[in-house]
Structure formats: structure tokens, C-alpha cells
Structure 1
Amino acid sequence: MSTEYTVTETLDVKGESCPMPVVKTKGAIDGLSDDEVLEVIATDSGSMSDIAGWAEATSGVELLDQQDEGDVFKHYVRKTQ
């Protein structure tokens, strides 16, 4: 995973549980232009595997990084096409 990126937009899905972090991430990514980066901030620990799995199975997106900060989980997703 790359650590060199600039966040274009931040999506706050704190308090949301599966599947909403992924659903809202998809919606936000759809609104970005190619090469823009979405930061997703979640409190659902399942978002770590859910967003990683979604990114791996979805063409046009690249998971750049994930950070577990205890109670908060951050995900960085780049739109690639």
C-alpha cells in the first residue's frame, strides 16, 4: 500500500455499521474524479475487512492505506477510473 497521497474528500461514517460504510464509500467514490483520494473515517471495526474486500473486488478503485487508531478506523481509497 502506498503512503504518498493527498486526500481530496473525507467521508465520516462514524456510528454506522455494516454495510453502510461500504455503501457510502462507493457513493462518495462515484462522485470523485480519477486519481482523487477519499478518506473514510469509521468506528465499525468490521470496516477494515469490509472496505478492503470491496476495494479488491471493485475495478476502478485502489485501497492505499488503512489505519487502526483504536476506536477509529481510517481508510484511504483512490479512484483509478
Structure 2
Amino acid sequence: MHKAGAFDKLFIFTEENRNYFTDWIGHRAIGVVYNPEYEQFGNYVPSQVGNRYDAFIFLDQTKALRPLEVVATSIGV
């Protein structure tokens, strides 16, 4: 999607337009945490984006979040 223009995109798929998004692509599975040791083993799944999702948000650039501070209590975390 970056090749289509380096800007954020929102796709909302309908019966009329989803047929434009049926090429098979390797799509990063939702929830995968990047770890270079495991990247080669299949963090990407074959997908037809228009058939897999009702909507799709593409963010061209992101940055890491700071983890929330976890405070231990006497009854656990």
C-alpha cells in the first residue's frame, strides 16, 4: 500500500468495491509482535484484503508506544 502513495489510508469494503481488492498478498497477522528471530517462520498470512475485512486502515508510519506503568499490590498485579 505504500507503493500506492506514502500516506495513511482508510478502505471501507462494500459489495460494489471489494472485487478491486482480491489480489493475494502476504499480510501481517493481527496481533503479531515483531521479533526478528521468528519473522521468517510465518508472521504473514496469505490474504485477499477485500474478502478478509469489512474495513482496513493503513498507517504509513507509526512509532512505538510506551508501556503503561504496572504497579504491584499486596494482592498481585
TM-score by length of 1: 0.25
Relative to total residues, which structure has the larger helix share, 1 or 2?
A: 1
Q: Write 1 or 2 for the structure with the bigger share of strand.
A: 1
The alignment's TM-score, normalised by the length of structure 2, stands at 0.25
Which structure has the greater CA radius of gyration? 2
